Amino acid sequence: MGSEKPIVYSNAQLIDPGTKLNTKGGLITQGDKIVDLGEHLYQSGFPEDAYVIDCKNNILAPGLIDIHVHLREPGHEHKETIKTGGESAAAGGVTTVCCMPNTDPVIDNVALIEFIQRRAREAKGVKVFPFAAVTKGLKGEQLTEMGMLSEAGAIAFTDDGLPVTDSQVMRRALAYAKSFGAIVSQHAEDLSLTSCGCMAEGPVATKLGLPGIPDASEVVMIERDIRLVEITGGRYHVAHISTEEGVAAVRKAKEQGLDVSCEAAPHHFTLTDDDVGNYRTFAKMAPPLRNEKNRRAIVDGLRDGTIDAIATDHAPHDQESKRVPMQHAANGVVGLETLLPLTLDLVNKGELTLIDALSRITSSPANLLDLENGHLRKNGPADLVLFDPNAEWTVKLENLYSKSKNTPFEGKLMRGQVIRTVVDGRTVFEREA
Question: Could you read off the pLDDT tens digit of each residue along the chain, which spans 433 residues?
Answer: 445 899 999 999 999 999 999 999 999 999 999 999 999 876 656 788 889 999 999 999 999 999 999 999 999 999 999 999 999 999 999 999 999 999 999 999 999 999 999 999 999 999 999 999 999 999 999 999 999 999 999 999 999 999 999 999 999 999 999 999 999 999 999 999 999 999 999 999 999 999 999 999 999 999 999 999 999 999 999 999 999 999 999 999 999 999 999 999 999 999 999 999 989 999 999 999 999 999 999 999 999 999 999 999 999 999 999 999 999 999 999 999 999 999 999 999 999 999 999 999 999 999 999 999 999 999 999 999 999 999 999 999 999 999 999 999 999 999 999 999 999 999 999 998 7
Class of domain 63-368 (CATH, top level): alpha beta
- List beta partners, residue 414: 393
pTM over 0.85: yes
What's the pLDDT score for residue 48?
A: 81
CATH code of the region 7-60+380-430: 2.30.40.10
DSSP helix, strand, coil percent of the chain (3-state; round to 5): 35, 25, 40
What residues act catalytically?
A: 313
Q: Do residues 426 and 63 lie in contact, with contact meaning Cβ atoms separated by under 8 Å?
A: no
Three-class SS of residue 398?
helix
Q: To 10 degrees, the CA torsion angle through 384, 386, 390, 392?
A: -100
pLDDT number for residue 4: 82
Q: What are the residues facing 61 on neighbouring strands?
A: 385
What phi, psi does 287 have (nearest 5°)? -65, 160
* Range(s) within the chain of domains with CATH label 2.30.40.10: 7-60+380-430
Coil/strand/helix, residue 176: helix
Return the amino acid letter for 398: E
What span, in angstroms and rounded, lies between the C-alpha atoms of 242 and 311?
Answer: 12
Report pLDDT for 47: 80
Quick check: 13 and 22 in contact, CB under 8 A? yes
Whether the link from the prior residue into 105 is cis, omega within 30° of 0, is: yes
Chain region(s) in the chain for CATH 3.20.20.140: 63-368
